[in-house]
Structure 1
Amino acid sequence: MYICIEGIDGAGKTTQCKLLKDWFDKNGYRAELIREPTQSPIGRLIRRILNEPSLPTDDQQKILGLLFAADRLLLKDKIKKAKNEKTIIISDRCFYSSIAYQEPEDWIREINKFAIKPDIVIILDITPEDAQERFEGLERFEEKSFLERVRRKYLRIAEEKKFPVVDANRGINIIQEDIRRIIAPYLGICR
Structure 2
Amino acid sequence: MFLSFEGIDGSGKSTQARLLADSLRESGQEVVLTREPGGSPGAEEIRRLVLEGDPDRWSAETEILLFTAARRDHMERLILPALAEGKVVICDRFADSTRMYQGLSRGDLRALVDTLHDLMIGREPDLTVLIDMDPDTGLARAIGRGGAEARFEEFGPDLQRRMRDGFLALAQDNAARFRVIDGNRPVDTVASDVRATVDSALR
TM-score by length of 1: 0.90
The one-letter code sitting in structure 2 at the alignment partner of 1:155 is L
The answer to whether the 8 Å contact 1:5/1:124 transfers is yes
1:178 paired residue number: 193
2:53 paired residue number: 52
Q: Which whole-Å CA distance do the structure 2 matches of 1:4 and 1:156 have between them?
A: 17
Q: Which whole-Å CA distance do the structure 2 matches of 1:56 and 1:17 have between them?
A: 30
Structure 1 residues 49 and 82: alpha-carbon distance in aligned structure 2, compared to 1, 3 A threshold: closer
Q: In the TM superposition, what is the alpha-carbon distance from 1:41 to its structure 2 partner?
A: 3.6
Alpha-carbon displacement from aligned partner over 1:113-169 (angstroms, at most 9, x marks no partner): 132310000111111211122122282422100111111110100000011111111
The answer to whether the 8 Å contact 2:136/2:160 transfers is no
The answer to whether the 8 Å contact 2:43/2:74 transfers is no
TM-score by length of 2: 0.85
Q: Which whole-Å CA distance do the structure 2 matches of 1:25 and 1:120 have between them?
A: 18
1:155 aligns with 2:155: no
User: SS of 1:28's equivalent?
Assistant: coil
The answer to whether the 8 Å contact 2:20/2:191 transfers is yes
Q: Which whole-Å CA distance do the structure 2 matches of 1:69 and 1:54 have between them?
A: 18
2:138 paired residue number: 131
Cα RMSD over matched residues?
1.7
Q: Which whole-Å CA distance do the structure 2 matches of 1:26 and 1:180 have between them?
A: 12
The answer to whether the 8 Å contact 1:55/1:140 transfers is no
The one-letter code sitting in structure 1 at the alignment partner of 2:32 is E
The one-letter code sitting in structure 2 at the alignment partner of 1:47 is R
Structure 1 residues 184 and 67: alpha-carbon distance in aligned structure 2, compared to 1, 3 A threshold: same
User: SS of 1:181's equivalent?
Assistant: helix
Q: What are the residue-to-residue correspondences of 1:76-115 with 2, within 5 Å?
A: 76-77=75-76, 78-103=78-103, 104-113=109-118, 114-115=120-121
User: SS of 2:28's equivalent?
Assistant: coil
Alpha-carbon displacement from aligned partner over 1:40-99 (angstroms, at most 9, x marks no partner): 344333334323244456xx2211111111111112232222222110000000000000
1:187 paired residue number: 202
